[in-house]
Structure 1
Amino acid sequence: MTKQILDLTLDEFGYKGMINLPVWNEFTSNSDDVYEVNFGGDINSPLLSELRDTYDFIVSNQEEIKNVILQELFEEYSGFQAKYCDDEDDEFMPDLTCVNDLKPLISLARVHILDVIKDGIAYIGFEFDCSWDEEHGFGVMLFKNEVVAMGGSDSSFLSWIANDHLNESSDSN
């Protein structure tokens, strides 16, 4: 059953709406659990049925997706510290002891559903505000529950990243 996309609009940059993801409420001051969702990544594309199906996939699998993102960030965090911190006691990137230590450091800003599709599901991106890069933020691109890319916020919406992953996975088959 397709879930209704909240407040769907079309502007010069493509389709936008809102998505209800209460699993992220403890990582942000957003008390209503609703976040912006952009369709098409960095390309203005039509709202295909696969993009709607992906919206449903995100809502239905939000807990698993959250856990995958947080675990991958936790595992890669020391690399981000090395890149962004001048000293070990940086208040913006303190050392972590567990995944929950990420809660005060990131907050979900928006979700991207790209126009790159594999097996009926589009690649998805989660864009975050983060303590260590206020200008560029933090982004994660996934295919279903597999992390494809992680880095600045643009990692969450650049279609070429999804296309590269799609081509690599089809070359290996």
Structure 2
Amino acid sequence: MPTSGFGLLVAVCCLWGPSLDASADINLTLTGEVMAPPSCVINGGNTLNVPFGDNLVKERIDGVNYRLGVPYTVSCSNQPSNAMHLTLKGTGATFEPTALSTTNRDLGIRLYIDGVVWPINTAAAFSYPTLPFMEAVPVRRPRPRLDTGSFSATATLLVELQ
């Protein structure tokens, strides 16, 4: 028996039709909580000063002598986790980019966290409230000349969640 195109179309629709009725839909609910970042205060909001003093002998500046601990405090509230980062933001010395530049182009400040060199602009992980031990030491350009006189360096200390 010959089949017409119309009959074939009706047969296909009859087979496919019931599958269209088998569809279903459900509601999807997504929830979450947006939290405010933790409120942290470094050093009571006061500037951290590291005075190397007025008696640095230029021949003794070698990245070892004159190493000082940097006392600081961090107080945080409302943090969802104790996993945090400490970063020192600043400009690197031209002769040693991991050290902080100073107003004397041949002198920089190398920093340490827990006894390990801490390159500037690099995050150091810690678990609040235990703070890493920070140290600073002057370093000089590896050449005989180092101008005498006062120097200073500035940077920003940043604490944030990991």
TM-score (norm: length of structure 2):
0.22
Q: Which has the higher helix share?
A: 1
Structure number with higher relative contact order (C-alpha < 8 Å, ≥ 6 residues apart): 2
